[in-house]
Chains A and B, each alone.
Chain A
Amino acid sequence: MPDDPRQTQEFVSLLTNHQEVIRAYIISQLPGCSEVHDILQEVNFLLWEKRLNFKLGTNFGAWACTVAYYKILDYRKKQKKDGILVFDSDLANLLSTESENKVPEALAAKRDALNFCLKKLSDKDRALLGARYDSAYSDMNQVSQKTGRSLASLRVSLSRLRAGLKDCINQRLGLEGRLV
């Protein structure tokens, strides 16, 4: 891709539009990782540095995920060294192949649907999800302390809430006939 302002602008637009796709890709490779935001920023920087290698008109998401894969490899090694459980490389490869063709529109639609579904939750359930996704309490023990619930109860509730939200989103998207 030539480094002229118009094409650079197009690149930035693609990169901006694919943020959720890249974020989801990172999470799929490193589930439970608390440094997703940091990794995403590093991947963004790497993509920016490699922008001249990208051919406009080709699949940006797939290219970005390939670039991200190598950055994630570094993190996986680091996590492994720190004693954190990480996927083995065969599984990481499989997941990478199966998730690299996601399109931004699908995630945007899911996000819209999520907003609808969140409104259907009770205040208590929303508060629980809020506590879990508040970055100040990323560790489950902290969430447990904050919410005053046991770890076992938290696990069950979060699993139930996620399953319910997943179904609700699918139903909502099915109703709207939107891309999943």
Chain B
Amino acid sequence: MIPEHFESYISRALDRDLTLEEFTKFEQELIASPESRALYLEYVDLHTVLDLELNIPASKPGSSTKIVDMNRVLRSQRRKSVKIAAFAAAAICILSLIAMQFYMMDRSPEVVFQSSPGTVFTLTHSKKKSSTESKTMEPGSRLELSEGSVELTFASGVRSIVTAPADITLHTDDTLFIQQGAAWFEVPQKAIGFTVNTDEFHIVDLGTQFGVCVKPDEHDEVHVFKGKVKVHAQGVEKESAILVAGEARTCDLNGRLSVIPARSSAFVTNFLQLPPYLYWSFDESDGFEVKGSHPAAADILSTPSPTDSPPHLAEGKFGSALSLDGNQQSLVTDWAGIYGLDQQLSCALWLRIPEGLELTNYSGIVGWGIPGNSNAKWKVFVRHDSIEEAPTVSVAIGAEQGIHWYEGETRLDDNQWHHIAVVQDGKDTQTGVPEISVYIDGERETITHSSLSLEMERFNSLEEIIRHPATRPLAIGKGPVPQDVTFQGLIDELYIFDGTISQAEIRKLLTQTTTNKR
């Protein structure tokens, strides 16, 4: 084959434009001649760099653009330690941006965002000169969230919190397209005119706070909380309206607007930045399954017990809750727990205890470890010493020298929902007592500390603890001591954090969850 023809064939092969006959000839030439193969590979290099320089990836929803699947990556990493998994997730974030890594930034990004821990996202850019930063968006950038939430900050000062599942694309500096998701916006005066588009709405802000909700199989919704917003339906009728605070609209496929009640509860307005956590929502959709940003979340099994009379789900504080009858019902997991008084950990949950509770002694709410006099034991429980005394929340932890008890004073058996949070900050107080804080309904609880010096069985490593035959993994509704009575009442929105949470964060948990179910 003469060189000119062969080069033409290479060009056409790269365009998938050869007939069968031509392709066969092309193949034969490549097999026969090392020089032809070298020339072909030279053209391949050219094609590669041309593609990198000139290709503008399609950013239309549903396009074939595909990024490393963060879910797969995170799942594969959850068996590793927190540190490794966190790094690996960050590393894969880098990989998902690899296509952009050789480009330099021309200017400051239009949007920067931060994600809450456990957020799983993919970010793609449609412009060839996109940012190498992992958390910036420029016109054409598309952000897909499968878990968690992000806070977007626009150069114009607009702030938005978007919760998963979501799929958003920045169309221009001040126009965002929402394919899916619940997004709350706060628009300052200087950014009036900020625009949000969905398949069904064109929304122009007139200086305000508003939310947009786009769900598959449901009509899009606009809710205004402050100021004014102009909405235009995209359908044939193209109805439009100016909405003021407290108003909301949905629209049908024909472009007609319908009044709906404004619901601020559909949106997250406070951004939660929490340490890695395990989370049981106890919602119908999740059942007893654990979720969350902790690397162990994907592998933990939660098994209702006993099998012949297991706990069930009942109406909860948000969605449904775990209902326990106090008669040996509990949820038993295969997660070892967090050990060591120098470790930071927190636990938060809603609970509801019926009035006139029978004597329950020390019924466990959550707990794990080796029962008896061991330094490997941690539990939150309801202390109810006698029928005359009020049931209160208490914490017991095993230490080298004995057991530490922390007892609250708020009466809990009023058949009302109470939010309980326990924070262990991994340090000792000035008196050498492990620091434990308890919060009830967001307020710091006055607690009484007592300790019991005992000859303790000491365990120095997690491996040693896990191997011990008496070790009880995390249980919900009971503690690690088998003979302890089980909890009677409802438990909802249970979080166990691998770290401490602040009072401000605890208060945010009173009004929202990481999954935004309000």
Instruction: Let me know if B95 and A16 touch, CB within 8 A.
Output: yes
Which chain B residues lie closer than 8 Å to A41 at the CB level?
66-68
Which residues of chain B are within 8 angstroms of A99 by Cβ–Cβ distance? 41, 44
Please choose the segment from B30-38, B189-197, B483-491 that sits at the chain A interface, where 4 or more of its residues have CB less than 8 A away: B30-38
What does the 1/0 interface line of A32-47 toward B look like (CB < 8 Å)? 1111111001001100
B104 at the interface (CB under 8 A from A): no
Give the Cβ gap from B147 to chain A, nearest Cβ, in Å: 18
Knowing A24-B44, A133-B55, A166-B46 touch, does A31 contact B14 (C-beta < 8 A)? yes
Which of B30, B48, B73, B88 contacts A23 (CB under 8 A)?
B48
Residues of A within 8 A of B17 (CB): 32, 140, 151, 155
- Asked if B11 and A37 make an inter-chain contact with CB atoms under 8 angstroms apart, the answer reads no
Considering the complex, which residues of chain B in the window 3-27 have a beta carbon less than 8 Å from any beta carbon of chain A? 7-8, 10-18, 20, 23, 27
A158 at interface by CB-CB < 8 Å: yes
Q: Is the CB of B64 within 8 A of A35?
A: yes
B41: A residues at CB distance < 8 A:
28, 95, 98-99
Q: Chain B interface: which of A3-11, A61-69, A70-78?
A: A3-11
Are the C-beta atoms of A133 and B84 separated by less than 8 Å?
no
> In the complex the two chains form, what is the Cα distance from A49 to B88 in whole Å?
11
Q: Which residues of A contact B31 (CB under 8 A)?
A: 90-91, 94
8 Å CB interface, A159-179 against B? 159, 162-163, 165-166, 169
In the bound assembly, the distance between CA atoms of A31 and B46 in angstroms comes to 12
- Residue B336 at the chain A interface, CB threshold 8 Å: no
Residues of A within 8 A of B23 (CB): 85
Which residues of chain A (122-139) have a CB below 8 Å from chain B?
Answer: 129-130, 132-136
Please state if B44 and A28 are interface contacts (CB–CB under 8 Å).
yes
Chain A 83-127 near chain B by CB (<8 Å), digits 1 or 0: 011011011001100110010001110110011001000000000
Q: A8-B91, A129-B54 are in contact. Are A114 and B46 (CB under 8 A)?
A: yes
From B13, B34, B42, B101, A16 is in contact (CB under 8 Å) with B101
Chain B interface main SS type: helix
A1 in the interface (beta carbon within 8 A): no
Whether A33 contacts B16 by the Cβ 8 Å rule is yes
B15→A5 contact, CB < 8 A: no
Residue B54 contacts which of A8, A24, A134 (CB distance < 8 angstroms)?
A: A134
Q: Given A37-B65, A91-B27, A169 and B46 touching (CB < 8 A)?
A: yes
Also in contact, A45 and B73, with CB within 8 A (given A16-B98, A19-B101, A32-B17): yes
Smallest CB gap from B7: residue in A: A163
Among B11, B38, B48, max chain A CB count under 10 A is at B48
Residue B502 at the chain A interface, CB threshold 8 Å? no
**Which residues of the other chain, B, contact A19 by a CB distance below 8 angstroms?**
98-99, 101
Taking the complex as formed, is B49 at the interface, i.e. its CB lies under 8 A from any CB of chain A? yes
Cβ A134 vs Cβ B68 within 8 A: no
A49 touches B66 (CB 8 A): no
Given A85-B20, A159-B11, A24 and B48 touching (CB < 8 A)? yes
Residues of chain A with a CB closer than 8 A to B80's CB: 3
- Name the A residues within 8 Å of B37 (CB-CB): 94-95, 98
21 contacts between A and B (CB under 8 A): A3-B80, A15-B95, A16-B98, A16-B101, A19-B98, A19-B99, A27-B51, A31-B44, A37-B57, A37-B64, A44-B98, A85-B20, A118-B53, A133-B53, A133-B55, A140-B17, A155-B12, A155-B17, A162-B10, A162-B14, A162-B43
Using A32-B15, A87-B27, A156-B8 as known contacts, list a sample of 4 further A-B pairs with CB atoms less than 8 Å apart, ordered by residue number in A: A37-B64, A45-B69, A102-B45, A107-B49
